[in-house]
Amino acid sequence: MSLVIIGTVAFDAIETPFGKTDKIIGGSATYVGYSASKLGVNPKLVAVVGGDFPQETISDLKSVGFDLEGLQIKEGEKTFFWSGRYHNDMNSRDTLATELNVLENFDPVIPESYQDCSYLMLGNLAPAVQQQVINGMKNRPKLIAMDTMNFWMDISMDDLKKTISMVDVLTINDEEARQLSGEYSLITAAEKIQAMGPTYLIIKKGEHGALLFHGKDMFYAPALPLPKVTDPTGAGDTFAGGFMGYLARTDDTSFENMKRAVIYGSALASFTVQEFGTDRIKSVTNEELELRIAKFKALMSFSESRVLNEIKN
Amino acid sequence: MSLVIIGTVAFDAIETPFGKTDKIIGGSATYVGYSASKLGVNPKLVAVVGGDFPQETISDLKSVGFDLEGLQIKEGEKTFFWSGRYHNDMNSRDTLATELNVLENFDPVIPESYQDCSYLMLGNLAPAVQQQVINGMKNRPKLIAMDTMNFWMDISMDDLKKTISMVDVLTINDEEARQLSGEYSLITAAEKIQAMGPTYLIIKKGEHGALLFHGKDMFYAPALPLPKVTDPTGAGDTFAGGFMGYLARTDDTSFENMKRAVIYGSALASFTVQEFGTDRIKSVTNEELELRIAKFKALMSFSESRVLNEIKN
């Protein structure tokens, strides 16, 4: 089934303890799309870039199956730019620069050919813009997921809560879940956030994995321990792209299938962090992905126990 | 099979955001032992207390199956006392007081009746004392596990490394694994630590679960998300007690069985944190434990995927 993705397509400049980059290709929609494309889905992009955005990247996106009818190219304007420096623990970062550029007046337009989409992924953007996209769909998609961040909780909580009330799946990190709900326990936070609208909540915990909540059901996907993490940028978006890509590919929104989707999202994210930017996720093959899924299975599986019956006797 | 436990039997005074206690019963060996006793194992204790230690606690330990022949009671002296205050995140704490008392000159003696033990758990204590216990065993136990903490890395790394080289399983937290190995990646840290001696390494990550490493094999047990964590004290020791108790009960040290042992340890630890001190772990029934194991299974299990073959076609 078709997957529409809205988000940023951007330039990033990244510093980590392992090196730094000049302006490279980044953006939430970019990572979400590359990730979904690995699952055989052709992502339909809604985004905006400036005239400075490289034609070769546009060609590359098309060559791996992106539908770019919804990508606005503003000649004479500049692409959104973000620059950040990661701390030694790679879990926290400082933003060095944010140049909104074309994003400042982004007015997303949903092409007619996107209107029949069943799956909609709202990448991290202003909640009002995310809302505009939902409202721009003539028929409500079967499943709407959104990502957001603490920044929007700080400056536009009301807009954010309105948008959250309109979606099925919310993906945020643990600190954001605590901020949004005012609850420290993730169990209690998950209950409160589900009461705001989304019947599914995914709490991303970076190197500690991800939790999927739905009513009283919970599922935990670990992050795969890696010998080296080079650049965490885009890991959350890659996760979301794998999650939504898997659901769109299988067209099955049962909780059982969402568990598998979380594993695929985690597996794909584990590639992204191994190189700077989109370098690694772009090159992932089916065989590599399959091998990594097998690693997740090995990491999580244990066979039935037998001791308790013995204790009782 | 029999399990010998060395560690502290102590008084604790604890403050958390949810309340505070006067002097209550604590200590690494206490938690390890209570936890192992839930798996039908009678823990053989090697520890020391002062004349101020309550007779009713000694009676309670005996009543749940502790063998106290190796417990020294120093009349006229005082029991080890620790006091701490947890921060709001419950992951970090300040030590308010540490009164070594009887621990200062603790000279552990292994009773003759303990000498045939197959499983030995060295709770957190000075590495030199842990070493003395290993050397005090006439026959090397089948499996020796040790817990330790950053404090010993700071003040007696050489002693610590010597003790580590003598054991089969080391349990430490993620920061300690990084400090001990000098590596940030837990994968690389695990390799380096295994090269120091222990062929099994368990990295405890508190609310983020635990990782078991053995050669190239890895297993991840999440922590069960809970509505409320009242007091994290003793969670790591309860985990170790469940782990070693399960191995002693089943007498199977295969990697497959260690995975189950990690799940039992995690399940038992999830009880400990729900009340102050040993209150909750003491009251756990077989039925409650069985129910919690089922929750872990639900949290971690997902069925086979099918998408990749479709993608290939």
Q: What is the pLDDT of residues B190-202, one digit of tens each?
A: 999 999 999 999 9
Angstroms from A151 CA to nearest CA on chain B: 21
Angstroms from A293 CA to nearest CA on chain B: 9
Using CB atoms, pick whichever of B229, B249, B302 lies closest to residue A260: B302
pLDDT of residue A310: 57
Residue B310, pLDDT above cutoff 80: no
Question: Mean pLDDT over residues A28-57, rounded?
Answer: 98
Percentage of residues in chain B with pLDDT exceeding 70? 97
Which positions ≥6 away from A254 have C-beta within 8 Å? Answer: none
Architecture of the domain delimited by B3-9+28-77+103-302: 3-Layer(aba) Sandwich (3.40)
Contact residues, A window 167-196, toward B, CB-based 8 Å cutoff: 184-188, 190
pLDDT of residue A303: 84
Q: What burial letters (b/e) apply to B66-97, b meaning 16+ CB within 10 Å?
A: bbbebbbbbeebbbbbbbbebeeebeebeeee
Using CB atoms, pick whichever of B186, B286, B312 lies closest to residue A286: B312
Question: Mean pLDDT over residues B116-126, rounded?
Answer: 96
Contact in structure between B300 and B262 (CB atoms under 8 Å) = no
Residue A169, pLDDT above cutoff 70: yes
For A242, counting Cβ atoms within 10 Å of its Cβ (0-12 exposed, 13-18 middle, 19+ buried), the class is: buried
Q: Which fold has domain A3-301?
A: UDP-N-acetylmuramoyl-L-alanine:D-glutamate ligase (3.40.1190)
pLDDT of residue B90: 82
Look up tokens 């090397």; give the residue.
Answer: B140
Contact residues, B window 45-104, toward A, CB-based 8 Å cutoff: 88-90
pLDDT digits (tens, 9 = 90+) for B123-174: 999 999 999 999 999 999 999 999 999 999 999 999 999 999 999 999 999 9
Confidence category of residue A90, pLDDT binned at 50, 70, 90? confident
For residue A2, the tally of other CB atoms under 10 A from its CB is: 18
Residue B205: its chain A contacts at CB < 8 A?
Answer: 208
Phi and psi dihedrals of B154, rounded to 5?
-70, -40
Contact in structure between A261 and A112 (CB atoms under 8 Å) = no
Question: Mean pLDDT over residues A160-173, rounded?
Answer: 98
Write down the pTM of the prediction. 0.94
| Residue type at A88 in one-letter notation | N
Q: Can you say how many angstroms the Cα of residue A57 is from the centroid of all Cα atoms in its chain?
A: 20
Residue A229: its chain B contacts at CB < 8 A?
Answer: 185
Confidence category of residue B313, pLDDT binned at 50, 70, 90? very low
Q: For residue B91, what are the CA distances in angstroms to A184, A289, B150, B205, B243?
A: 12, 34, 15, 10, 22
pLDDT of residue A313: 42
Contact residues, B window 248-287, toward A, CB-based 8 Å cutoff: 249-250, 256, 259-260, 263-264, 286
pLDDT digits (tens, 9 = 90+) for B35-63: 999 999 999 999 999 999 999 999 999 99
B280: left (phi over 0), alpha (psi -120 to 50) or beta: alpha
Inter-chain CB pairs, A–B, below 8 Å: 131
Contact in structure between B33 and B57 (CB atoms under 8 Å) = no
Average pLDDT, chain A: 95
Question: Mean pLDDT over residues B73-84, rounded?
Answer: 97
Using CB atoms, pick whichever of B39, B208, B310 lies closest to residue A311: B39
pLDDT of residue B88: 83
Angstroms from B236 CA to nearest CA on chain A: 18
Token representation of residue B249: 């009960």
Contact in structure between B254 and A310 (CB atoms under 8 Å) = no
Q: For residue B310, what are the CA distances in angstroms to A39, A249, A281, A284, A292?
A: 9, 9, 20, 17, 17
Residue B91, pLDDT above cutoff 90: no
Are A260 and B188 an interchain contact pair (Cβ–Cβ within 8 Å)? no
Contact residues, B window 111-150, toward A, CB-based 8 Å cutoff: none
DSSP codes of every residue in chain A? --EEEE---EEEEEEETTEE-SSEEE-HHHHHHHHHHTTT--EEEEEEEETTS-HHHHHHHHHTT-EEEEEEEETTS---EEEEEE-TTSS-EEEEEEE-GGGGG------GGGTT-SEEEE-SS-HHHHHHHHHT-SS--SEEEEE--HHHHHH-HHHHHHHHTT-SEEEEEHHHHHHHHS-SSHHHHHHHHHHTS-SEEEEE-GGG-EEEEETTEEEEEPPPP-S-----TTHHHHHHHHHHHHHHHHT--SHHHHHHHHHHHHHHHHHHTTSSTTHHHHH--HHHHHHHHHHHHHHH--PPP-HHHHHH-
Confidence category of residue A308, pLDDT binned at 50, 70, 90? low
Cα–Cα distance for residue pair A281/A234, rounded to 1 Å: 10
DSSP codes of every residue in B237-277? HHHHHHHHHHHHHHT--SHHHHHHHHHHHHHHHHHHTTSST
pLDDT of residue B303: 84
pLDDT digits (tens, 9 = 90+) for A181-232: 999 999 999 999 999 999 999 999 999 999 999 999 999 999 999 999 999 9
pLDDT digits (tens, 9 = 90+) for A140-159: 999 999 999 999 999 999 99
Q: Which residue of B has its CA nearest to A252?
A: B307
ipTM: 0.91
Cα–Cα distance for residue pair A146/A157, rounded to 1 Å: 15
Angstroms from B244 CA to nearest CA on chain A: 13
Residue A307: its chain B contacts at CB < 8 A?
Answer: 39-40, 246, 249-250, 260, 264
Q: Which residue of A has its CA nearest to B39?
A: A311
